[in-house]
Amino acid sequence: MHTSDRHDIEIDLFRRALMLRHGYDFTGYAPASFKRRVLALQAAVQAPTVSRLTERLLHEDGFVRTVIGRLSVPVSEMFRDPSVFRALREDVMPVLATWPQINIWQAGCAHGEEVYSLAIVLRECGLYERAHIFATDFSEEALARAEEGIYPLHEARAYSDNYLRAGGTGSLSDWYVARYNRIKLDESLRKRVTFARHNLVSDGVFGEMQLIVCRNVLIYFGDDLQERALGLFRDSLVHGGFLCLGNRESLAYSAMADDFERLSEETAIYRRGIRARRTI
């Protein structure tokens, strides 16, 4: 047997242990990227083999939190892809303003960078008080960081540039205090945010949303899982609601494509067809 075969078997057993012992199902993830993440986890916790990871997963309380934290790639930034936030501000917010209550689901919120960015846009557009942001992720570690709203000071310059390019009307520094080598986002931005664990693999539809933002999450999924997640999004949106995907993601190959209209070629923001019928 080749070493690579043994590796694949170990990774398969690890995946099964995650599912059987802890209920996290990674079967639908893109295999190559999942394998890379497991090997990175192995290196990070200095496990001699992937089987050692599996053993710890089965016997060590709390190790699963580290595992999910490491497998989840919680990489983000405030106002990431500023043109998307500009489009949200200029094209989507005016429509959201026509609803009395604005529900927003931010799926795959990582450490909260996008959540606070959205909150700032809503504040600056005068819509925050009637908005509610449901910020979800499957990683408890990521959610705990997101709730803190604390980021390294050295990111502030890039975040500020993004904010201005996204059409920010003030200065990003109006929204945080800097202390030592960190910045802390204004607590008031959290007032209308609920952080919750939600797994796009196994959990269900999420209320009646006017806007769903899920960026740079589907890229880790295989085709079937992408389709499941897109189905959840469609069925969680009110008619005329908006879906914002990442710049490398689209509805192009999805059976869901007919239910949406794309706002422009520049961003992956879609509007659920007014005439499209709910399928659940």
Site residues for ligand SAM per CB under 6 A: 72-76, 80, 108, 110, 114, 137-139, 142, 199-201, 215-217, 220, 246
Residue identified by tokens 């960190």 is 182
CA distances from 89 to 81, 118, 149, 269, 270 (A): 13, 9, 22, 12, 14
In angstroms, what is the minimal distance from the CB of 71 to ligand SAM?
8
Shortest Å distance, C-beta 75 to ligand SAM: 5
192 touches 132 (CB < 8 A): yes
Nearer to ligand SAM, 139 or 210 (CB): 139
Nearer to ligand SAM, 42 or 139 (CB): 139
DSSP state of 205: -
Residue number with CB closer to ligand SAM (139 or 226): 139
Return the ∠ at Cα 149 (arms to 216 and 102), rounded to 5°: 65
CB of 180 vs ligand SAM, minimal distance in Å: 25
Quickly list H helices, the chain: 3-22, 31-44, 50-59, 63-71, 82-87, 93-96, 113-124, 140-148, 156-165, 223-236
Q: Closest separation between CB of residue 70 and ligand SAM, Å?
A: 10
Which helix (H) or strand (E) segment is 179 a member of? strand 176-179
Min. distance of Cβ 101 from ligand SAM in angstroms? 24
Q: What are phi and psi of 193, to 5 degrees?
A: -120, 135
Question: Tokens 């009110």 sit at which residue?
Answer: 238
Query: Which is closer to ligand SAM, CB of 50 or CB of 115?
Result: 115
Reference 28, options 205, 245, 226; nearest CA is 226
Of residues 93 and 110, the one with the C-beta less far from ligand SAM: 110
Q: Which residue lies nearer to ligand SAM by CB, 80 or 89?
A: 80
Tokens at 154, concatenated: 């050295």
CB of 142 to ligand SAM, least distance (A): 5
